[in-house]
Amino acid sequence: MAILRWLRRNLVVIAGLCTLAYLLLPNVIVTVFSFNKPKGRFNYSWQEFSTDAWQNPCDVADMCGSLSLSLQIATWATIGATVLGTMIAFALVRYRFRARGAINSLIFLPMAMPEVVMAASLLTLFLNMGAQLGFWTVLIAHIMFCLSFVVTAVKARVMSMDPRLEQAAQDLYAGPVQTFLRVTLPIAAPGIAAGALLAFALSFDDFIITNFNAGSTVTFPMFVWGSAQRGTPVQINVIGTAMFLVAVLLVLAGMLIGKRRNKQSR
Amino acid sequence: MTTTRTEAPPAKDPADPAPAPRGSRGRGRLVPYWLLLPGILWLIVFFALPLVYQASTSVQTGSLEEGFKVTWHFATYWDALTDYWPQFLRSVLYAGAATVLCLLLGYPLAYLIAFRAGRWRNLILVLVIAPFFTSFLIRTLAWKTILADGGPVVGALNSLHVLDVTSWLGATDGDRVLATPLAVICGLTYNFLPFMILPLYTSLERIDGRLHEAAGDLYAKPSTTFRKVTFPLSMPGVVSGTLLTFIPAAGDYVNADLLGSTDTRMVGNVIQTQFLRILDYPTAAALSFILMAAILLMVTFYIRKSGTEDLV
């Protein structure tokens, strides 16, 4: 009876942890199978333990090239989308002007549109313009769909900012530039960082829009897609595992820094 | 001292090196437009304009060799609908099933993070977000291993006679899960689950804990508290979560391609093939326009119905 009562009281916790397990199961499988030594082309069943793939992750032709291309695109797309998105977010929160409603829906629509639709329509534009598909078309597309997410993240932070802090800075004879650099920007930084991180993840991981607009350029997700048909090398699981670890460490480090800063400011 | 402060609080000292007020005010009015210009221009040229191009492509006829011309051939829409209605139907069904599953699976976890996790909250949040940063294609491929024929998951489902029921419903095929609708729905649910959990968590976290205490003080059972207090207050999260899962799931073709078979093709798969392999641009454009219109209609109806228009 006691067990039953305990189960009932903790039903939510148990169900929640089951969902968490569902979310993390593929990551566990990817990690485990990065130590596999498959027979044949496909790495879908466990054969024997080996660290071969971890020792030479770039052994697979073209994989690391596509990885570095994806990192480059993600970096530039993050910079572009963060700069443009932060500017838009400040304009939307800080100023009242005509066409605000229209601009808000223009920001919202890309997030509410299925990716195939955006991918296909962008391809029609590029085909009509006669643009050469490749690095630049991918970068343009990535900045476009990351932009809305950055605006949303930065907007949330700037909206919760106390405008009196900036007034105080101006009362203390700080010029507009000084106020922006020493007061506004540091306070908005966590929102901007969140937006940038999101943009990086979205751009690095995007497959659908990239697949339509990349031409013969192969990014890392496209390499994975292609290899799914030809047989996935174990090294892909190594990269997947490493990315997961880096992400967890980065986010945890960010949280620790945030916590320490909060303590100091208190 | 205080009187001088109140007389001119924001006014600047005459010695202020800032530019003259009149000039800065004139320029100040243009500041928001300068801030908006590059980003909005980007969205107009690379988001709105392409949609216009696509609309014009969908009413063109011709071939790749002879070139395409706008002939206002609206029949493409009709042909696309009659040829591909099974794929449209499947997209709505699969995405709908995945959304319901996401809500059922995601709610307990969001609730756990918001109210019961205590000092584990941040860690669990990281574990929900971190998969975002690993390639979703790699993770989707991992489902091939998990759901493999004769694997432990399929074996367990089989011995529990779950597969008999799902086969009868047409979601699985005998004792196979891979290459069936169930596998596609499973992949869709998995891929879009974080999009459900995060909005749910945000709206649950905003709920004042004292409301739960108040409900308890008024002799409400935990289940009643949930039904009458917690769930209604989490509605904004439910609405935005279901939208954030349904829309991308309906347009997805990756899961249907990697985990499904030719019998599980969704409308995204058709658009992809028409655009990139068959190169029948008008049909592909018409298909993606129908998909977009259908989703916009459903979303508008849904938002009206759920009465949270100010939400999005």
Inter-chain CB proximity A90 and B33 less than 8 Å: no
Q: Quick one: CA dihedral B226, B227, B232, B237, positive or negative?
A: positive
Among residues of chain B, what percentage have pLDDT more than 90? 47
pLDDT in tens, B90-124: 999 999 999 999 999 999 999 999 998 888 998 89
pLDDT, residue A111, reads: 87
Q: What's the total number of domains in chain B? A: 1
* Of A100-114, A190-204, B10-24, B182-196, the least confident: B10-24
pLDDT, residue B303, reads: 83
Inter-chain CB proximity A106 and B43 less than 8 Å: yes
Task: Provide the token pair at A137.
Answer: 């078309």
pLDDT, residue B24, reads: 45
Is the pLDDT confidence value at A154 over 80? yes
Within a domain: residue A47? no
- Give the integer Cα–Cα distance in Å for A240 and A242: 6
pLDDT, residue B307, reads: 66
Q: Could you tell me the CATH number of the domain that includes residue B133?
A: 1.10.3720.10
Please report how the helices A2-9 and A11-33 are oriented relative to each other, as an axis angle in degrees rounded to 10.
80
Phi/psi region, residue B285 (left: phi>0; alpha: psi -120 to 50; beta: rest), is: alpha
Within a domain: residue A181? yes
Residue A266 banded pLDDT, cuts 50, 70, 90 = low
pLDDT, residue A264, reads: 66
Is the pLDDT confidence value at B272 over 90? yes
| Most B-contacting residue of A121, A237, A239, A248 (CB-CB within 10 A), to test interface | A121
Among residues of chain A, what percentage have pLDDT more than 90? 53
Q: What's the total number of domains in chain A? A: 1
Rounded to 5 degrees, what are φ and ψ at B196?
-90, -45
Looking at residue B154, its amino acid is V
Angle at A14 between CA A9 and CA A16, to 5 degrees: 115
Q: Could you tell me the CATH number of the domain that includes residue A115?
A: 1.10.3720.10
- Across chain A, mean pLDDT equals 90
- Give the integer Cα–Cα distance in Å for A187 and A221: 35
Q: What is the DSSP letter of A183?
A: I
pLDDT, residue B132, reads: 79
pLDDT in tens, B169-223: 888 888 888 999 999 999 999 999 999 999 999 999 989 888 888 888 898 888 8
| Most B-contacting residue of A6, A19, A44, A167 (CB-CB within 10 A), to test interface | A19
In chain A, whose CA is at the least distance from the CA of B110? Answer: A16
Within a domain: residue A1? no
Is the pLDDT confidence value at B19 over 50? no
pLDDT in tens, A4-58: 888 888 899 999 999 999 999 999 999 999 999 888 777 778 888 988 889 888 8
* Of A65-69, A246-250, B183-187, the least confident: A246-250
Inter-chain CB proximity B48 and A221 less than 8 Å: no
Residue A132 banded pLDDT, cuts 50, 70, 90 = very high
Domain that holds residue B246: 93-266
Within a domain: residue B57? no
Q: Which residues touch B85 (CB under 8 Å, ≥6 apart)?
A: none
Across residues B72-78, what is the average pLDDT?
Answer: 85
Tell me if A47 sits within 8 A of A36, measured CB to CB: yes
Task: Provide the token pair at B97.
Answer: 């099933």
Residue B140 banded pLDDT, cuts 50, 70, 90 = very high
pLDDT, residue A235, reads: 92
Q: How many residues does chain A have?
A: 266
Rounded to 5 degrees, what are φ and ψ at B62?
135, -170
Residue B312 banded pLDDT, cuts 50, 70, 90 = very low
> To the nearest whole angstrom, how far is the Cα of A7 from the nearest Cα of chain B?
14
Q: Within an 8 Å CB–CB cutoff, is residue B140 touching chain A?
A: yes
- Across chain B, mean pLDDT equals 85
> To the nearest whole angstrom, how far is the Cα of B169 from the nearest Cα of chain A?
23
Looking at residue B186, its amino acid is C
- Give the integer Cα–Cα distance in Å for A263 and B3: 38
Residues of A in contact with B49 (CB under 8 A): 125
* Residue-by-residue DSSP string for chain B: -HHHHHHSSSPPPTT--SPPHHHHHHHHTTHHHHHHHHHHHHHIIIIIHHHHHHHHHHTEEEETTTEEEE---THHHHHHHHHHHHHHHHHHHHHHHHHHHHHHHHHHHHHIIIII-GGGHHHHHHHHHGGGGS-HHHHHHHHHHHT-TTSHHHHHHHHTTHHHHHHHHTSSBTTB-TTSHHHHHHHHHHHHHHHHHHHHHHHHHTS-HHHHHHHHHTT--HHHHIIIIIHHHTHHHHHHHHHHHHHHHHH--HHHHHH--GGG--HHHHHHHIIIII--HHHHHHHHHHHHHHHHHHHHHHHHHHT-TT--
Within a domain: residue A83? yes
Is the pLDDT confidence value at B310 over 60? no
Inter-chain CB proximity A117 and B291 less than 8 Å: yes
pLDDT, residue B61, reads: 82
In chain B, whose CA is at the least distance from the CA of A138? Answer: B46
Between these two residues, A265 and B179, which has the higher pLDDT value? B179
Residue A36 three-state SS: strand
Between these two residues, A213 and A41, which has the higher pLDDT value? A213
Is the pLDDT confidence value at B5 over 60? no
Domain that holds residue A112: 67-222
ipTM above threshold 0.95: no
Is the pLDDT confidence value at B131 over 70? yes
Interface of B with A in 45-64 (CB under 8 A): 46-51, 53-54, 57
pLDDT, residue A143, reads: 97
Looking at residue B35, its amino acid is L
pLDDT in tens, A180-211: 888 888 889 989 998 999 999 999 999 999 99
pLDDT in tens, A218-237: 999 999 999 988 888 899 99
Residue A161 three-state SS: coil
Task: Provide the token pair at B251.
Answer: 């347009």
Across residues B41-49, what is the average pLDDT?
Answer: 95
Q: Within an 8 Å CB–CB cutoff, is residue B70 touching chain A?
A: no
Among residues of chain A, what percentage have pLDDT more than 70? 98
Within a domain: residue B220? yes
Q: What CA–CA distances, in Å, run from A218 to A133, A194, A210, A226?
A: 11, 28, 9, 9
- Give the integer Cα–Cα distance in Å for B180 and B264: 7
Is the pLDDT confidence value at B311 over 50? no
Within a domain: residue B33? no
Tell me if B114 sits within 8 A of B205, measured CB to CB: yes
Is the pLDDT confidence value at B309 over 60? no
Q: Within an 8 Å CB–CB cutoff, is residue B269 touching chain A?
A: no
Instruction: Please report which residue ranges of chain A form alpha helices under DSSP H.
Output: 2-9, 11-33, 52-55, 63-94, 100-112, 115-129, 135-159, 163-171, 176-179, 185-205, 208-213, 220-230, 234-265
- Give the integer Cα–Cα distance in Å for A253 and A249: 6
Q: What is the DSSP letter of A181?
A: I
Among residues of chain B, what percentage have pLDDT more than 70? 89
